[in-house]
Amino acid sequence: DAGVIQSPRHEVTEMGQEVTLRCKPISGHNSLFWYRQTMMRGLELLIYFNNNVPIDDSGMPEDRFSAKMPNASFSTLKIQPSEPRDSAVYFCASSPTGDEQFFGPGTRLTVL
């Protein structure tokens, strides 16, 4: 298996622009997670889905952030409008019904 796939790996954009991050989980995994990693706040869970349904979005910082999972093999995290403080590495992870999460390589977002 190719593991969790994220695209793009790097994104540089200007403040106010819309940003869409993409994730393909490992086939057969029921849960999908979006994390944000920054120097100041460390690794934070933004949202997680179970069987394509959002279960807990309490970590989503504000209404500018939204996440969707239209099917079992694809999820997006959208920021609109983006701000410089959104600059971070965003990780997607997936998990079978169990106890281990498998992380993707991350998307490094820079908002100028």
Partner 1 sequence: AQSVTQLDSQVPVFEEAPVELRCNYSSSVSVYLFWYVQYPNQGLQLLLKYLSGSTLVKGINGFEAEFNKSQTSFHLRKPSVHISDTAEYFCAVSPWGATNKLIFGTGTLLAVQP
Q: Which residues bind partner 1 (CB under 8 A)?
A: 4, 31, 33, 42-43, 45, 48, 50, 55-56, 91, 93, 95, 98-106
Minimum CB distance to partner 1 smaller for 15 or for 55: 55
Minimum CB distance to partner 1 smaller for 79 or for 93: 93
Cα of 109 vs its chain's centroid, Å: 11
Cα separation, 17 vs 10, in Å, equals 15
**Rg, the chain, Cα only:** 13
Cα separation, 79 vs 50, in Å, equals 22
Encoded tokens for 77? 């995290």
Nearest distance from C-beta of residue 81 to partner 1, angstroms: 27
Minimum CB distance to partner 1 smaller for 7 or for 80: 7
Nearest distance from C-beta of residue 28 to partner 1, angstroms: 17
